[in-house]
């Protein structure tokens, strides 16, 4: 038995047992420790290679500044995040926000757009996808167009976003929605078509109406896979939100990258990339937690693979 | 289709089924099926793979329409699925997002019965199948045999008059299957429902059936119906059971050979 499950068991058996018992948080820490250690090792490995390349003089500090340089002077980088000021967010505390606050608000703005886009896109996609299969005529009328639009790069929608929403949060959120919507509608339909026939037949023999069959069987049955599709599309959401911001429809991390490009500031570029990486990771982590809570019936993790 | 006077649990008259009729992929599955199932009768369907046994159950359940002939249940034509005729599959097909109790109560909640009544019926029904403790578990926490019992409980909760079972124990090991057969006979005796039970196992037919219906190779027709007059509980090693087994094996063997020959010809062409 592994130390982890022993710890978990010890924490579950609780106080009062004769055996050695560990507090719950110790067990929790021990449970996630390997993940954290491997993560640190992985990042450390690549950062280390980079640092070595710099130390031996192969990586030019002006073009490819290694981590200790671009992370080292956070205060220096953070002043560029003041683009936030233009939009009056966080500017209430007397003029220009502090550097840290500026970074925080910029991150908040970008993350908020991604999140809003994900929520809107997945709600719309499931609704449209289900409607396409539920109402025959609606499906016949909309599906060809959706299939046609799905392969169009979301970047192509950028002008439309600006025509429709001007500047600000609107176009950025719109871009995220557009990037996900068509694919997720198609994924929803595909999932509906692949719902286990027997589950549907059980519902039908129990006297379920079409509406009940959809609400009680088909929708819950497709949710787990759609969540996976959503997670896989997270990177697309991040990509378009940065593009939208970079083209000046708002402020945010994309804007900062653009600024870094225009002022030729590689340190700022890598600092922002690091931020985006961490954010993306946290986002995915949060979605996995949400998945565990919302889709409690889906088997978790890679335990089976580990046994190989 | 008009009602008929026969009060039999299931009446099939000259039933035919062609899949995808009128297309190049048209595929005749059943032809000229005449079959009457009495109330409370236990009928086992035997036949080579692909002869249309599952198809017949689908027709009786009302999930598919026959392309010829007619089907009735207790005098009324079968036109759509009904809780009176429950279908149980080889896989338990439980809803993974519901607890065992909620699975059992699924049909009741579809019918709009109040929660307290649903919970009570679910509790009683699970008790009948010996799974009272599992009521709050999730299906994937159960063994295959337990899951199949939950599926039976889910059907029983609707108090069906006909249980249609499509190789329900085929995925279970031999010992579990024997247990499940005993369990099914108990349930059947108490419920008074008719059972139509598809299997590939002649032993299972001998253990369970009042009558065994043997099908021909595709398109499925009824080759013969064998009445089993052995008292229950049955001794599988009695000379009568042995003779019955030999008879059914012989009946089935021709058809399995024919089905194989046909499949080989299909592959060759
Ligand atoms: N939904 C379907 N559409 C088209 N053809 C089908 C469909 N279901 C079954 N068939 C065909 O009908 C024939 C009878 O199939 P069925 O599943 O009823 O056989 P079966 O007797 O249950 O076989 P098995 O013992 O292998 O389960 C087969 O040739 C099969 O290919
Ligand atoms: Mg079958």
Decide: A170 and A180 in contact? Cβ < 8 Å: no
Domain locations in chain B as residue ranges: 10-84+160-268
Q: For residues B234 and B211, what is the distance between their CA atoms, to the nearest angstrom?
A: 14
Q: What angle do CA B183, B188, B191 make, to 5 degrees?
A: 125
Q: For residues B70 and B163, what is the distance between their CA atoms, to the nearest angstrom?
A: 19
Q: Which residue of B has its CA nearest to A199?
A: B93
- Reference B34, options B6, B3, B62; nearest CA is B6
Those residues of chain A whose CB sits closer than 8 Å to some CB in chain B are 196, 198-199, 201-208, 212, 216-217, 220-221, 295-299
Q: What would the DSSP string read from start to end of A39-67?
A: HHHHHHHHHHHHHHHHHTT-S-TTTS--H
pLDDT at B72: 95
Ligand 1 contact, B73 CB (< 6 A): no
What atom of ligand 1 comes closest to residue B58's alpha carbon? 18
pLDDT at A20: 62
The nearest CA of chain A is from the CA of B39 a distance in Å of: 19
Decide: A217 and A160 in contact? Cβ < 8 Å: no
Quote the percentage of chain A above a pLDDT of 90: 31
Backbone angles phi, psi at B11, to 5 degrees: -130, 120
Would you state the structure tokens that stand for residue A67, as one six-digit string? 């981590």
In terms of residues, how long is chain B? 269
pLDDT at A200: 95
Q: Which residue of A has its CA nearest to B162?
A: A205
pLDDT at B219: 87
pLDDT of A37 higher than 80: yes
Map tokens 């159960």 to a residue: B142
pLDDT at B215: 94
Would you state the structure tokens that stand for residue A51, as one six-digit string? 């640092």
Q: For residues B180 and B146, what is the distance between their CA atoms, to the nearest angstrom?
A: 9
Q: How confident is the model at residue A254 (pLDDT cuts 50, 70, 90)?
A: confident
CA of residue B219 to ligand 2 center, whole Å = 14
Rounded mean pLDDT of A114-130? 94
Rounded mean pLDDT of A239-257? 84
Q: Which of B63, B97, B107 sits opposite A207 (nearest CB)?
A: B107
CA of residue B53 to ligand 2 center, whole Å = 6
Decide: B111 and B96 in contact? Cβ < 8 Å: no
pLDDT at A5: 46
* pLDDT tens-digit map of B132-189: 999 999 998 999 889 999 999 999 999 999 999 999 998 888 888 888 899 899 989 9
Q: Which CATH number fits domain A74-294: 1.10.3720.10, 3.90.1150.10, 1.20.120.330, 2.60.40.10?
A: 1.10.3720.10
Ligand 1 contact, B118 CB (< 6 A): no
Quote the percentage of chain A above a pLDDT of 70: 84
pLDDT at A307: 56
Decide: B17 and B59 in contact? Cβ < 8 Å: yes
Map tokens 């908020």 to a residue: A112
Nearest CA to ligand 1 atom 4: B19
Q: For residues A95 and A106, what is the distance between their CA atoms, to the nearest angstrom?
A: 16
Is there a cis peptide before residue B249, judged by omega within 30 degrees of 0?
A: no
Q: Angle between the A99-134 and A136-149 helix axes, to the nearest 10 degrees?
A: 140
* pLDDT tens-digit map of A196-243: 999 999 999 999 999 999 999 999 999 988 888 888 888 888 888 988
Q: Which CATH number fits domain B10-84+160-268: 3.40.980.10, 3.40.50.300, 3.40.50.2300, 3.30.450.20?
A: 3.40.50.300
- Reference A280, options A241, A250, A225; nearest CA is A241
Interface A–B counts its CB contacts (< 8 A) at: 60
In chain A, residues under CATH classification 1.10.3720.10 are: 74-294
Q: What stretches of A60-112 adopt beta strand conformation (E)?
A: none
What atom of ligand 1 comes closest to residue B215's alpha carbon? 21
Map tokens 């995808």 to a residue: B20
Ligand 1 contact, B21 CB (< 6 A): no
For residue B12, give the H/E element and its range: strand B10-19
Ligand 1 contact, B199 CB (< 6 A): no
* pLDDT tens-digit map of B80-109: 999 999 999 988 899 999 999 999 999 999
Establish how many alpha carbons lie within 13 A of residue A5's alpha carbon, considering only the half-sphere containing its beta carbon.
3
Q: For residues A246 and A237, what is the distance between their CA atoms, to the nearest angstrom?
A: 14
């Amino acid at each position: 038995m592994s130390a982890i499950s022993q710890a978990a068991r010890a924490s579950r058996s609780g106080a009062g047992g004769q055996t050695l018992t560990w507090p719950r948080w110790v067990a929790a820490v021990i449970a996630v420790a390997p993940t954290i250690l491997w993560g640190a090792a992985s990042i450390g490995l690549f950062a280390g290679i980079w640092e070595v390349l710099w130390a031996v003089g192969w990586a030019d500090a002006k073009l490819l500044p290694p981590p200790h340089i671009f992370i080292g002077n956070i205060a220096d980088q953070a002043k560029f995040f003041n683009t936030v000021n233009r939009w009056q967010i966080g500017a209430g505390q007397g003029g220009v926000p502090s550097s840290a606050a500026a970074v925080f608000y910029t991150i908040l703005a970008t993350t908020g757009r991604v999140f809003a886009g994900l929520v809107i896109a997945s709600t719309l996609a499931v609704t449209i996808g289900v409607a396409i299969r539920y109402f025959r005529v609606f499906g016949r009328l909309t599906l060809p167009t959706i299939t046609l639009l799905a392969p169009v790069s979301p970047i192509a929608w950028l002008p439309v976003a600006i025509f429709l929403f001007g500047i600000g949060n609107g176009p950025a959120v719109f871009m995220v929605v557009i990037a996900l919507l068509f694919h997720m509608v198609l994924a929803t339909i595909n999932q509906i078509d692949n719902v286990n026939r027997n589950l549907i037949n059980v519902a039908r023999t129990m006297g379920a109406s079409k509406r009940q069959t959809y609400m009680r069987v088909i929708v819950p049955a497709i949710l787990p896979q759609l969540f996976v599709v959503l997670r896989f599309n997270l990177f697309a959401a991040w990509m378009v939100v940065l593009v939208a911001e970079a083209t000046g429809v708002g402020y945010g991390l994309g804007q900062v990258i653009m600024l870094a490009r225009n002022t030729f500031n590689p340190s700022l570029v890598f600092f922002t990339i690091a931020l985006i990486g961490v954010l993306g990771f946290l986002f995915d982590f949060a979605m996995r937690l949400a998945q565990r809570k919302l889709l409690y019936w889906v088997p978790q993790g890679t335990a089976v693979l580990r046994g190989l | 289709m008009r009602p008929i006077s026969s009060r039999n649990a299931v009446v099939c008259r000259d039933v035919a089924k062609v899949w995808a009729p009128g297309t190049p992929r048209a595929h005749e599955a059943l032809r000229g099926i005449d079959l009457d199932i009495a109330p409370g009768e236990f009928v086992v369907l035997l036949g080579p793979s692909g002869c249309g046994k599952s198809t017949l159950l689908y027709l009786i359940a009302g999930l598919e329409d026959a392309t010829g002939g007619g089907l009735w249940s207790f005098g009324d034509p079968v036109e759509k699925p009904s809780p009176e005729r429950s279908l149980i599959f080889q896989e338990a097909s439980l809803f993974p997002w519901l607890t065992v109790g909620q699975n059992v109560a699924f049909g009741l909640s579809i019918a709009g019965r109040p929660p307290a009544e649903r919970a009570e019926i679910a509790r009683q029904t699970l008790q009948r199948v010996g799974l009272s403790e599992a009521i709050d578990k999730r299906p994937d926490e159960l063994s295959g045999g337990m899951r199949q019992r939950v599926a039976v409980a889910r059907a029983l909760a609707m108090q069906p008059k006909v249980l249609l079972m499509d190789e329900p124990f085929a995925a279970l090991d031999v010992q579990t299957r024997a247990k499940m057969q005993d369990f099914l006979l108990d349930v059947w005796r108490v419920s008074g429902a008719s059972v139509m039970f598809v299997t590939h196992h002649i032993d299972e037919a001998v253990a369970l059936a009042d009558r065994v219906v043997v099908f021909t190779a595709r398109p499925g027709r009824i080759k013969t119906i064998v009445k089993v007059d052995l008292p229950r509980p049955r001794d599988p090693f009695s000379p009568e059971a042995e003779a019955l087994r030999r008879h059914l094996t012989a009946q089935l063997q021709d058809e399995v050979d024919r089905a194989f020959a046909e499949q080989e010809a299909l592959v060759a062409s």
